[in-house]
Structure 1
């Protein structure tokens, strides 16, 4: 079971040129995504002061995970992942270019913003799942923990640190600039991915016996797997509370902390700094505490971060809280992703990943909508306080499971059939 613990990361396995190309593609596009993450809610605040309409932008970009999760998993298991990732990146570049032109032309209102965010979310459904499915084919199995940690680090650094800072600065210069930058980064990403030499072996493709039965095969496998099913349901609750917090963060930043758009970008960078730090030390933490103990610690960090945001109206405290939040989420993801990549049969990986994401990411649009409604009625502190309460309950449940070593036992019971 040592392959799950992260202990091999000390040997710094060579991950290869193909992984490096994928890593650089994700790094470049993550910077552009970070610029959009900062600029989209800022654009919404210029168009309306209603927290519900501002939060709707987050709903638009996350609801595709619910609508298209399972079909995208089937698509990933049937197509050339590398070529399709290139096409999706090109399509997202066009979408962002349209949004930038709309802003420059004076017709870039909320309807266009929502539409573009929705379409970008559709592309994200494919790309996130495809990258995780593709990774085991271009990186050695002994290096999966290291590879996933590095991918998460660069994603968080780009989307949460470099990108938001750049996006906030560019937004102050010209509202359309951050979206134009994101379009350019997707073009660069498409070129890099097109240069990856390896792809899925032919034997990993599923038998084409019927679209509905193929889509349901991943769902049935995952639902019968107690460990992964439980992690997916817990991830849904965590994402619900976390995205409710993030959806109203810009409102909290402006109305409570009285920060400028650049200050909002700095807060997001604090989140990224915590994520990068966590991605570096998560394997060591998992090795020291075990998977069960690491998950308890991550949820406790998230609960603490939400409680700080709810009770301390300080920009410095908010920055520290967001760093803690990111530390928790990244460590959780390292454990969950490596378990999926190792336990799920290769021919079902795309579909099982999509079902897992459908459950886990299904909490994102619900959380964003709920956050906007609660903030409009009771203020942002109520959103953060409710999230802290949810996380505390989950932490208590995980603590009881850790005493019973529920993950270790489940892996020992299910690993032989998966091999």
Structure 2
């Protein structure tokens, strides 16, 4: 139903996500082998997520200007080369924390572009009626690879040889590049009008997104979720060693439990959204994420931690399915890359903040405190979303003909102004 081009994109996402999972498991283990300071171990997550803040908007402009398919191939090849260098550094004895931080930073930079480009490409190779299903399948493949198979393989390979996981990840990026190169359709590359330079082009996407009340609000909420989630994941390896007393392979098994929730979400997210509405689905996801953090904080059991990670992944994937489809359908096609990049700048900006905060709090008060704070934050968010759901804030913003008020009490007139602004930017 979704076509061969989507199948190739899905396969590329699945293969590279397995490699991502391998590195996600191996990089903290390598850092923990080099230091026992939670702040330095959390620095691995900070290094990987910092490019989301620093280069989000330029990456979006680049996505709007280039042939997406060719650019994705080049980025995958570059990441393969980078991981090969890290592998050689570990084998040669010069692969310490500085090299690991640099490599994770550059891998994060590639991820900023690749994720944005893939989301922009999906509407051009998939029928609009299949967008929810297509996005759910891509996210499930990414979570199953990075959250299940990858961590298991990564932890196992790390126990065999420290450098091996990073070499395997390099190979997965080469496979992904080959699959993407076989996609036949892509977004047409059209000449850009003279807008006065790069800065006005970047600001066009930022201005459009910021004037759209719904997407602006969702970006800010996503930022809060990412702060809580990133803090949790950044100190999880410390929690597994000091509280749960797991081995490196046990840590990988625990991480892999996320895939159970991700696969479940890929199956139920479209139906859940249809049943509860988009507002109700987001309330449910915030509740699931908060529950997962509470379980980690209160129950010092590996089985409970695995279940919590499954719940966490189910919530995050469902949230992403809802908000990604909204962006793909509401943002003008020619601004999609830039608007996506601004959204990611706001949403993913919480990742390095959360990772750094998680490491600091864990060092001072222990890992359960990190999870407890995250649970409290998500509980407050769930209450706020429930209030917004009763006022149909997403339906009102997505369909301005509805004469209802949003959670901020702004009238229908504001939505009409937003749509006029969008037309002006076009």
Q: SS where residue 246 of structure 2 aligns?
A: coil
Mapping 1:134-149, distance limit 5 Å: 134-149=121-136
Shift of 1:199: 1.3
Task: Determine helix, strand or coil for the equivalent of 2:226.
Answer: helix
Moved more, 21-30 or 345-354: 21-30
Render the CA deviation track for 1:334-360: whole Å, top value 9, x for unaligned.
000000000000000000000000000
Within-5 A mapping of 1:298-377: 298-377=285-364
Residue equivalent to 1:3: none
Cα distance between partner residues in 2 of 1:307 and 1:202: 48
Compute the displacement of 1:313 (Å).
0.2
Aligned to 2:408: none
SS at match of 1:70: helix
Q: CA deviation at 1:202?
A: 3.7
Matched, 1:271 2:258: yes
Aligned residue among 95, 100, 103 for 1:116: 103
Runs of 4+ aligned residues of structure 1 deviating over 2 Å after TM superposition are 205-208, 414-419
- The Cα offsets for residues 1-33 of structure 1, whole Å up to 9 and x where unpaired, read as xxxxxxxxxxxxx11111111111111111111
Query: What is the CA-CA distance between 1:201 and the residue it aligns to?
Result: 1.9
User: 1:273: how far off?
Assistant: 1.1
Distance of 2:329 and 2:129 partners within structure 1: 10
Q: CA–CA distance in 2 between the matches of 1:199 and 1:301?
A: 36
In the TM superposition, residue 208 of structure 1 has moved relative to its aligned partner by: 4.0
Whether the 8 Å CA contact 1:65–1:361 is kept in 2: the answer is yes
What is the match of residue 199 of structure 2?
212
Q: Which residue is 1:77 aligned to?
A: 64
- Map of 1:399 onto structure 2: 386
Does 1:133 pair with 2:158? Answer: no
Q: How far apart, CA to CA, are the structure 1 residues paired with 2:383 and 2:340?
A: 27
Pairing 1:187–2:177 present: no
- 2: CA distance, partners of 1:206 / 1:60: 34
The aligned counterpart of 1:262 is: 249
The structural deviation recorded for 1:272 is: 1.4
Partner of 2:407: none
Query: 1:253 & 1:202 partners in 2: Cα distance?
Result: 48
How big is the shift at 1:300?
Answer: 0.5
1:60 corresponds to which residue? 47
Aligned with residue 139 of structure 2, among 122, 138, 152: 152
Could you tell me how far 1:207 is from its partner in structure 2? 2.6
**2: CA distance, partners of 1:26 / 1:70:** 23
CA distance in 1, matches of 2:134, 2:65: 24
What RMSD in Å do the two structures reach over aligned CA positions?
Answer: 1.2
Asked if structure 1 preserves the Cα contact closer than 8 Å seen for 2:67 and 2:189, the reply is no
Q: Deviations over 1:261-304 (max 9, x none)?
A: 11111111111111111111111111111101110010011111
Q: Is residue 274 of structure 2 the alignment partner of residue 287 of structure 1?
A: yes
Partner secondary structure for residue 265 of structure 1: helix
Give the unaligned 5+ runs of structure 2.
Answer: 401-414
> What is the CA distance between 1:322 and its match in structure 2?
0.6
Contact preservation (8 Å) 2:231, 2:358:
yes
User: Does the Cα contact within 8 Å between 2:65 and 2:189 map onto a contact in 1?
Assistant: no
Quote the residue 2:156 is aligned against: 169
How far 1:206 moved relative to its partner? 4.2
Q: TM-score, normalised by structure 1?
A: 0.95
Instruction: State the aligned residue count.
Output: 405
Structure 1 contact 206–348 (Cα < 8 Å) conserved = no
- Give the Cα separation in 1 of the matches to 2:11 and 2:317: 19
Deviates more, 1:21-30 or 1:216-225: 21-30
State the distance in 1 between where 2:372 and 2:301 align: 16
* Other-structure match for 2:412: none
Provide the C-alpha distance between the structure 2 equivalents of 1:320 and 1:52, rounded to a whole number of angstroms: 26
